[in-house]
Amino acid sequence: MGKRDKLLCRFLSKPRDFTFEEMKTLLRRIGYIEVPTGISSGSRVAFFHPEDGHVIRLHRPHPANYL
CA 35, chain centre distance (Å): 11
What CATH code would you report for 3-59? Answer: 3.30.920
What's the pLDDT band for 37 if we cut at 50, 70, 90? confident
What integer is the mean pLDDT of 53-61?
92
What is the distance between the alpha carbons of residues 45 and 39, in angstroms, rounded to a whole number? 12
40 pLDDT exceeds 70? no
Instruction: Check if the beta carbon of residue 67 is closer than 8 Å to that of residue 18.
Output: yes
Residue 34: closest CA among 50, 18, 10: 50
Looking at per-residue confidence, does 40 or 10 come out higher?
10
